[in-house]
Chains A and B, each alone.
Chain A
Amino acid sequence: MNTEKYQEKLANAPKVRISSIVIIIALTLIVFVSVATTELPEPQSEASINAANNVVRGILHPSADKLLSFGVDGVPYLILETMAIALLGTLLGSIFAIVPAILGASNFNSKMQVRIVRLCLNIIRTVPPIIYGLMFIRVTGPGPFAGVMTFSLTSIGMVAKLYIEALEELDGGILEALDSVGASYWQKVAMGIIPQIRPNFISTAIYRYEINVKDAAVLGLVSAGGLGTEIILAQSEGRWNDLGAYILGLVILVFIVEHVSTRIRTSLVSG
């Protein structure tokens, strides 16, 4: 008796779209060709296998000396330095990002302008941080300040994008309500806009801080300060136990920052 109803339901069930099938086939082809053309590494000579074993042994036995020393090349100071670089970089970046965010929010700008601003932000985002690092080193010389400037630039791209999303979600009703009670322009900004976007902006900045701490390892490659620089030095000089200590320091740092940041952001969002 119910068969007809079921058949009708079946007929209305979502059909597999042709475009999905085409996409899946294309993806499979790309993957297949890529896997087929990848060359496997040649077997390593005995000497290099021994070397690799030494590296692993070193990493698994981090030098207690470096882990506990409070000197400039000790892990505690480097952690502090990495955090300081990320903090200043994030702060500068999140402040700089406000201008492009206001210029690029589609609810109070022309479409053309929004497009241009977004294209610029996109270009800033696609250049790998390391390249900015190399450029800034020419300005400030090698050292942590080059790292700060790099992060302030790389942060702008992402932070501004998230700011724009927050601005576009502004509740216009509140502004109309303020208009209706005769609020001035700045009163509207202070009472209607800032309280709405503040949790979002702060949460974005904290999130970016987390990313910057992780990226600090990348920046070290171009000797822009922090744990990364020492990691690269230890690697090129073959001090494997020190390398282990620095990597351990990085893991601990990232782990803690990630947890604290997630906790703060959750409490910000839930009020």
Chain B
Amino acid sequence: MKQSTLTLPNGKSITKPKSKTPMILSVLFILIVISSIITEADIAVLFTKADKFWSMIGDMILPPDFSYLDDIIPELIATLRMSVVGTFFGAIFGFPVAFLAAKNINSNEIVRFIVKACLSLTRTMPVLIYAMILTFFFGIGEFAGLLAITIFTFSIITKMAFEDLETLDMGAFEAAISQGSTRIKSTILTIFPQMMRTYITYTLYCFEINVRSAAILGYVGAGGIGYTLNQMIQLRQYDKAGMILIAIMVTVIAIDSLSQFTRRRLA
């Protein structure tokens, strides 16, 4: 490839840096080819058998079994309850840990490192795997899912909160210290009011995510509506499965808008 060189009036010459794009694109192309071989990708199938996809959607929503709605409302409530309680306890446990991980509050580097390492390890496991393992301990049911949601909320809210803490204005805190108040008292008086709103906002945000994931926790037996949904699909009762899906969709959209409204109000 020809490189364009420019000579400046003062005699220096500048060479335009080589573009990395061709290299990146060719690596990407090779990766795509390898991936297609590994995944046995066959685009033609999409055209020959796509009708099966649409016919399944058709069976689900044309029309859904509305009479089934009465049966699933209790399960829907159980799903929501699981997310509320899980999010709540996750947020409660996460609060003090966030302080341990924040640079401007905890000056002990070793503790900070350990806390952060544990947090990022906790974050790597998907909720569903937690739920699966927890069902061995607490049996099939809501409680395992609730704990899985608690762990997940804890792991992400702590990260968001300590990053937020590190950006806080420490002036008020130092002023309180200089007036002779203890560290704990100054933290409660000056740091808490600054972070409380954001923390509640984060909690609501986690709640939105959790409602979505709670809907499928039933797959591994961890309670909620996912269990019934799985059964209906296995039994090929698509109209009932469609009703469950619509109910989940309406709930999720309703919760999202409610939570966003609340977040805006609090912000």
Contact = CB atoms under 8 A, between A and B. Distances in A.
B121 interface: yes
Given A122-B253, A130-B216, A149-B46, A41 B143 contact: yes
Contacts of B139: 41-42, 44, 48
A145 B266 contact: no
Interface residues of B, number: 60
Interface in B188-221: 200, 212, 215-216, 219-220
A87 B219 contact: no
Nearest to B41: A145
B39 A23 contact: no
B78 to A, nearest CB: 9
A88 B32 CA distance: 7
Interface stretch (B12-20, B129-137, B162-170): B129-137
Given A85-B39, A126-B253, A218 B142 contact: no
B49 A139 contact: yes
A182 interface: no
B212 A126 contact: yes
A178 interface: no
A147 B35 CA distance: 12
B164 to A, nearest CB: 18
Interface string B128-152: 1100110011110111101000000
Interface stretch (A104-112, A164-172, A248-256): A248-256
Contact of A128 (B42, B220, B248): B248
Interface string A50-86: 0110010001000000000000000000001101110
Contact of A139 (B39, B45, B229, B265): B45
Given A139-B49, A221-B128, A251-B124, A44 B137 contact: yes
Interface in B215-248: 215-216, 219-220, 226, 229, 233, 245, 248
Interface residues of A, number: 61
Contacts of B50: 139
Q: Identify which of A84, A85, A122, A251 gathers the most chain B CB atoms within 10 Å of its CB.
A: A84
B215 A128 contact: yes
A247 B129 contact: yes
Contacts of A148: 39, 41
Interface of B: 31-32, 34-36, 38-42, 45-46, 49-50, 52-53, 56-57, 80-82, 84-85, 88, 120-121, 123-126, 128-129, 132-133, 136-139, 141-144, 146, 200, 212, 215-216, 219-220, 226, 229, 233, 245, 248-249, 252-253, 262, 265-266
Interface of A: 19-20, 23, 27, 30-31, 34-35, 37-42, 44, 48, 51-52, 55, 59, 80-81, 83-85, 87-88, 91, 122-123, 126-128, 130-131, 134-136, 138-140, 143-145, 147-149, 214-215, 217-218, 221, 225, 231, 235, 247, 250-251, 254-255, 258
15 contacts: A27-B262, A81-B38, A81-B39, A84-B38, A84-B39, A87-B32, A87-B35, A127-B248, A135-B53, A139-B52, A139-B53, A144-B38, A149-B46, A250-B126, A251-B125
